[in-house]
Amino acid sequence: MKLYAILAVLLCASISAADDPPKPFPNGQRPLVIAHRGFSREYPENTLLAMQAADEIGVDVLDMDAHMSADGHVVLMHDDTVDRTTDGTGLVIEKTLEQLKELDAGYRFKRDEGFPFRGKGVKIPTLDEVFAAFPNAQFSIEIKQGIPPMEGPLAEVVKKHGLERRVLVACADPMTLSRLRAMAPTIPTASDGPESLALRSGFSNRMKAGCVTVPPAFSNVEVMVPSFVRKVHSLGGEVFVWTVDDEAGMRKYLDMGADGIFSNRPDVLMRVIGRTPRAKRAEEKAGGAK
């Protein structure tokens, strides 16, 4: 851990911090309910179906992972390969968009009753399709691919839809984020792992982003502690924690001052915060009118 912290400090010192890094979701209510890969507890992750289900209950942010197809389209996928979530095999980057669209993105999603989304036409969506389908939503996008670089095509899609104020881009690779910040300084980004660890360890008092997105713990080190949240807040940043699905954990980090939580169970998180899911409000209103 000491070596990692030293490397983090060196990295933070090697890249100049932005004077005023853009903050994500400047007009959004806090704490934010961030639907991790969409409503992925109940629907196939990173699909329009999962995003629609999350949007319908009124979450604040739709979260997704991004890769690039062989012909340069930004698509939603967490893994480097399509094996875990579809009926296909192979690397995402080695398939054209047409080939990716032939796959069944609901094929491996399992519920107690079996595989309810197999053969139902659930496809791998492009980022462009997601933005078009949810014109009023806010988005958290994690770049999962480093080689070849894909931050350029991603930035182009964001700008095409005029969403610089309604997106947050994260990536584990510091160089990818550095390139993105240089080419598109108006697009909000999250601090990468080394940046966040340097802040957590007390080796840095600078932020190159408007927020951090962190897990509760990393390599047996508890990241989400009150002092870390206070420090980020003192530097003008925000803290978003991932991925929390149990109520006790949600309450713990909300009490700590987390500005948002990524969850596969956004409906539960909304209830913990004290917000009624939109679909439920509609049902209650209809029931009262009878």
Q: Which residues are catalytic?
A: 36, 78
Q: How far apart are CA 215 and CA 176, in angstroms?
A: 20
Amino acid occupying residue 284 = E
The three-class DSSP label of residue 2 is helix
**Strand boundaries in 45-195, DSSP class E:** 61-68, 74-76, 139-143, 167-171, 190-191
* CA of residue 93 relative to chain centroid, distance: 20
* Strand partners of residue 241: 214, 261
Distant-in-sequence, close-in-space partners of 187: CB < 8 Å, separation ≥ 6: 22, 155, 158, 164, 167, 169, 180, 181
Q: How far apart are CA 141 and CA 189, in angstroms?
A: 9
Amino acid occupying residue 63 = D
Helices (H), the chain: 2-14, 48-57, 97-101, 127-133, 151-160, 174-183, 193-201, 226-234, 247-256, 266-273, 278-288
Question: How many other C-beta atoms can be found within 10 angstroms of the C-beta atom of residue 41?
Answer: 18
Helix axes 48-57, 266-273, angle to 10 degrees: 20
Q: Tell me whether strands 221-222 and 217-218 are parallel, antiparallel or unpaired.
A: antiparallel
- What does the block give as tokens for 37? 């890969």
Q: How far apart are CA 100 and CA 66, in angstroms?
A: 13
> Which residue in this structure is represented by tokens 């107690």?
112
Residues in the chain: 290
